[in-house]
Amino acid sequence: MKILLVYPEYPDTFWSFKWALKFVSPKASFPPLGLLTVAAMLPHEWEKKLVDMNIETLRDKDLEWADYVFISAMSVQRESVKKVIESCKKVGVKIVAGGPLFTTGYEDFEGVDHFVLNEAEITLKYFLEDLKNGCAKHVYSADQNPDMLNNGCPNQEAYVHEKFADLKETPIPLWELVNMKKYASMCIQYSRGCPFNCEFCDVTLLFGHKMRTKTREQVVNELEKLYSMGWRGGVFFVDDNLIGNKRKLKREILPAVIDWMKKRKYPFTFQTQVSVNLADDDELMELMVEAGFESVFVGIETPVNF
């Protein structure tokens, strides 16, 4: 089976860093971590290629090569997604779509053969099983309503009775698919979810309020993987709010990262996103600095006191 993983183009916004990137050689800020994680969950023997449209053009010849095109996107990539779907339809290749854009509104997209929604750790295995049995459905979704649970063929929708994934099952992203030189920074994810509830933010809808975390071994193995692939420089912890579970971060994760960074002579600098209550915690700030965090992104979106 040949799988083409496609990451649609961003429009020209602040976060695209289009103008800033001109001063350094990379073409895009970050690689698509969701697609690389999904790629690592697909059968080992399947052939996989990645086209990140923020660094290269998607050609018909790429689409013709594939048996399935896997698309991931966030809302800001909507227009490009529509064009990718059109191109796939023109060459007659089947489409599997997942990620935040589709999980929060798949009904807006016609022409997609299979929606594999929510976290792939939960839904992808059901799709792969049905595909093997020749009866893949139109929609795979995580839902807590037990009445909607129906995983048998030939229904058109499968509701998996499990809302959020255990990150201990999450594999190391398939970094082999990426040309690291084209990016300003690499990424790693340690946790999902956020204890807060800012009204504009899709994070808690998608990933819940309960912090789910990887183990310290997983974090160190992911750093080691990036290092062994030759990466040196920035690494973005893409967590929604890295300090959502301060205790585990302070007691387990940061000490392991500090240890690894010291052994490897600080090959990376880290960036991340945190809630503003980081400022209350000197010990945590000191540990983060010792681990190699050089900047944090703090969103001050509300004047309401917590």
**Contact partner at residue 29 from ligand B12, ligand SF4, none, CB < 5 to 8 Å by partner kind:** ligand B12
Would you count residue 275 as binding ligand SF4 (CB under 6 A)?
A: yes
What gap in Å lies between CA 107 and CA 109, rounded to an integer? 6
Least distance to ligand B12 from the beta carbon of 265, Å? Answer: 27
The CB-of-143 to ligand SF4 minimum distance in angstroms stands at 22
Shortest gap between Cβ of 120 and ligand B12 (angstroms)? Answer: 3
From 34-42, 60-68, 191-199, 285-293, span contacting ligand SF4 (CB under 6 A): 191-199
Print the SS3 string covering 131-190: HHCCCCCCEEEECCCHHHCCCCCCCCEEEECCCCCCHHHCCCCCHHHCCHHHECCEEECC
Does position 240 interact with ligand SF4 (CB under 6 A)? The reply is yes
**Closer Cβ to ligand B12, 124 or 261, answer by number:** 124
Q: Which residues bind ligand B12 (CB under 6 A)?
A: 10, 13, 15-16, 29-30, 32-35, 37-38, 70, 72, 74-76, 96-101, 104, 116, 119-121, 124, 187, 189, 192, 201-203, 206-207, 238, 240
Q: Which residues pair with 2 in a beta bridge?
A: 47
Q: What is the 8-class DSSP label of residue 244? A: T
**Minimum separation from the CB atom of position 81 to ligand B12 (A):** 11
Paired tokens of 247: 């205790």
Sign of CA pseudo-dihedral 29, 35, 38, 43: negative
Distance CA 19, CA 25 (A): 12
Nearer Cβ to ligand SF4 (91/201)? 201
Contacts of 253 (CB under 8 A, 6+ apart): 190, 213, 216, 219
Choice from 54, 185, 241, 272 touching ligand SF4 (CB under 6 A): 241
How far is residue 117's CA from residue 204's CA, in Å, rounded to a whole number? 15
What is the Cα 142 distance to its own chain's centre? 17
Dihedrals φ, ψ of 186, to 5°?
A: -100, 175
Give yes or no for residue 203 binding ligand SF4 (CB under 6 A). yes
Judged by CB under 6 A, does residue 191 bind ligand SF4?
no
38 binds, among ligand SF4, ligand B12, none (CB under 5 to 8 A by kind): ligand B12
Q: How far apart are CA 264 and CA 258, in angstroms?
A: 10
Q: Which is nearer to ligand B12, 76 or 258 (CB)?
A: 76
The least CB distance from residue 160 to ligand B12, in Å, is 13
Contacts to ligand SF4 by CB under 6 A: 194, 196-198, 201, 203-204, 240-241, 275, 299
